């Protein structure tokens, strides 16, 4: 949205749909609602599907180094990052009134046991997971200082506020408000140290993981859905130069959903 003449009222919009039958059917119904343009000509995108498909679209944009504002319509299951699908009526007015939320992904750099470097981005979380029945042993450092000399367990993850309600929540990590400027560092099925349940870190933190006994206890790293196996060390920090804009209906913004999720019983 760097163009000063750009507004959602006048934006050239692209329509993207997941391969699911529901999303394809909805795309057919919306085809005549607006003179949609190809994604490469668009200033914003309307995405039909679920959270997973929306993340796929955002990753494609990051890979192409052209990240557009995205307005999601839920035709999946949870739809935490999406708005309610209500058909064609009033859709353009909803988009024009949508509230923008800026989110930054994590930048992950990993070195495997052969010394080969790998890089990827994660919008939700970066997870380190044991590959075999052997317990993973991981040293954790924050801003160059070792904070956990040896975490023994299934692994550990670092989540953004957007991802704090995903895998992080399943691992009993904290839910983070979108504007908290924090990251959740959460162990996965920890065995040692027994009393450590994770940490909430400022999002300016640089977090490093070093695998102990990597040949005996191999570990993979997963940045959202991208996986690299047999890693020796992993470094993660916020990528502020890759900020993305999600669009939400008033009253249904992501920060409100994050707060509401904490009162679900």
Q: Does the annotation mark 51 as catalytic?
A: yes
180 among annotated binding-site residues:
no
Catalytic one among 9, 32, 51, 224?
A: 51
57 among annotated binding-site residues:
no
Taking a C-beta distance cutoff of 8 angstroms, is the pair 17, 24 a contact?
A: yes
224 among annotated binding-site residues:
no
> Distance between CA atoms of 213 and 257, rounded to whole angstroms?
41
Nearest to 156, CA basis, from 125, 111, 113, 118: 125
52 among annotated binding-site residues:
yes
Neighbours of 145 (CB within 10 A): 7
168 among annotated binding-site residues:
yes
SS3 letters for 132-170? CCCCEEEEEEECCEEEEEEEEEEEEEEECCHHHHCHHHH
169 among annotated binding-site residues:
yes
110 among annotated binding-site residues:
no
CA 108 to chain centre: 12
179 among annotated binding-site residues:
no
| Residues tagged in the binding site annotation for NAD(+) | 51-52, 124-125, 154, 162, 165-170
Residues annotated as catalytic (active site), given as ranges: 51
């Amino acid at each position: 949205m760097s163009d000063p003449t750009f507004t959602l009222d006048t934006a050239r919009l692209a329509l993207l749909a997941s391969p699911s039958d529901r999303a394809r059917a909805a795309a057919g119904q919306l085809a005549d609602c607006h003179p949609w343009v190809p994604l490469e000509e668009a200033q914003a995108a309307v995405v039909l599907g679920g959270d997973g498909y929306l993340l796929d679209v955002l990753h494609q944009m990051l890979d192409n180094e052209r990240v557009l504002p995205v307005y999601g319509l839920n035709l999946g299951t949870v739809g935490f990052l999406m708005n309610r699908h209500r058909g064609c009526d009033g859709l353009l007015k909803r988009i024009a009134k949508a509230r923008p939320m800026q989110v930054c992904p994590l930048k992950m750099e990993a070195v495997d046991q052969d010394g080969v470097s790998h890089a990827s981005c994660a919008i939700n979380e970066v997870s380190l997971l044991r590959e075999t029945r052997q317990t993973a042993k991981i040293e954790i450092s924050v801003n160059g200082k070792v904070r956990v000399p040896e975490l023994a367990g299934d692994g550990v993850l670092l989540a953004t506020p957007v991802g704090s309600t995903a895998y992080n929540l399943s691992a009993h990590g904290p839910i983070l408000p979108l504007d908290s400027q924090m990251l959740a560092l959460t162990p996965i099925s920890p065995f040692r140290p027994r009393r450590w349940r994770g940490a909430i870190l400022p999002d300016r933190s640089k977090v490093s993981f070093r695998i102990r006994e990597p040949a005996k206890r191999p570990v993979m790293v997963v940045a959202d859905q991208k996986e690299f196996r047999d890693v020796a060390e992993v470094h993660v920090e916020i990528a502020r130069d890759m900020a993305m804009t999600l669009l939400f209906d008033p009253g249904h913004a992501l920060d409100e959903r994050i707060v509401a999720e904490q009162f679900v019983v």
